[in-house]
A = this chain, B = another copy of it.
Amino acid sequence: MRELKLVGFAGSLREKSYNRALLRTMVELAPLGVTLDVLTIGDLPHYDGDLDQDGERPANVDAFKAAIAASDGVVLVTPEYNHSLPGVFKNAIDWASRPGYRAPFTDKPVAFATASAGPIGGMRAQMHLENVLLGLKARPFPHPGCAVTFAPSKFDEGVLTDEDTRDFVAGYLAEFADWLRERRG
C-alpha cells in the first residue's frame, strides 16, 4: 500500500479555533500509511503581485508552495466568515495559485472540511471553496461534504471528542486516501 503524504492548513488563526482543533484531530485520525503535516499560514504576507516575482518572493511563501507541490494531496479546514472564506485562508490559497495553472494547486487533489458553532457547519464557505478549487484547476474530492456542526458540544480542550463525529471524520479521510490511491494506481 503506497504511503501518502498529505499537507493541510486551517483557515483561522485563533488559538482555540475549532477548525484548527479539527485539523489537529485529523492528523491523529489519518489512516494507516497516511501522514498529514500541518502548514502555518499566519506568517504569509498579504498577496501582492509586485512581491510575487522571482527574487522578491518571501522565503516562507516559497516553502509553503513547495510543501503543497510535494504532497499527494491537501486537506483544507476552515471556518466560514461572513458567508464566505476567511481572508487569511484565501490569501494562502492565492499565493499557492501562481503562476496560473502551473501552480502547486494545479491538478492537486484537495479534501476540505468546515466546523462551526451553529447548525450550518460552515457550508457556505465550502460552496465558495468549491468555486475556488475549480478556478485553480485543482481536483476537489467528490464527496457529500465533511462539516462539524454545533462544534462547542463536540470538542473538549481542543480535541474532537464526540465519537460519532470522530468516526465520520476518520471515514472521510479513509475515503480520501482510497480515492488518491485509485487515481494514482
Q: Contact: B13 with A87, CB < 8 Å? A: no
B87 touches A88 (CB 8 A): yes
Q: Once bound together, how far apart are the Cα atoms of A26 and B97, in whole Å? A: 30
Some 24 contacts from A to B, beta carbons below 8 A apart, are A13-B46, A13-B47, A14-B49, A14-B50, A15-B50, A42-B46, A81-B90, A82-B97, A83-B134, A83-B135, A84-B84, A84-B85, A84-B128, A84-B131, A84-B132, A85-B87, A86-B91, A87-B94, A88-B91, A88-B94, A90-B90, A124-B131, A124-B135, A128-B128
Copies of this chain in the oligomer: 2
User: CB of A136 within 8 A of chain B?
Assistant: yes
| A136–B82 alpha-carbon span in the complex (Å) | 6
Count residues of A near B (Cβ-Cβ below 8 Å): 34
List the B residue with the shortest CB-CB distance to A105.
B82
Complex contact B12–A84 (CB within 8 A)? no
Closest CB in chain B relative to A147 CB, distance in Å: 17
A169 and B66 alpha carbons, distance in the complex (Å): 42
The smallest beta-carbon distance between A88 and chain B, in angstroms, is 4
| Chain A positions 10-28 with a Cβ under 8 Å from a chain B Cβ | 12-15, 17
Choose from B12, B42, B46, B92 the contact partner of A49 (Cβ within 8 Å): B12
| B residues near A135, Cβ cutoff 8 Å | 82-84, 124
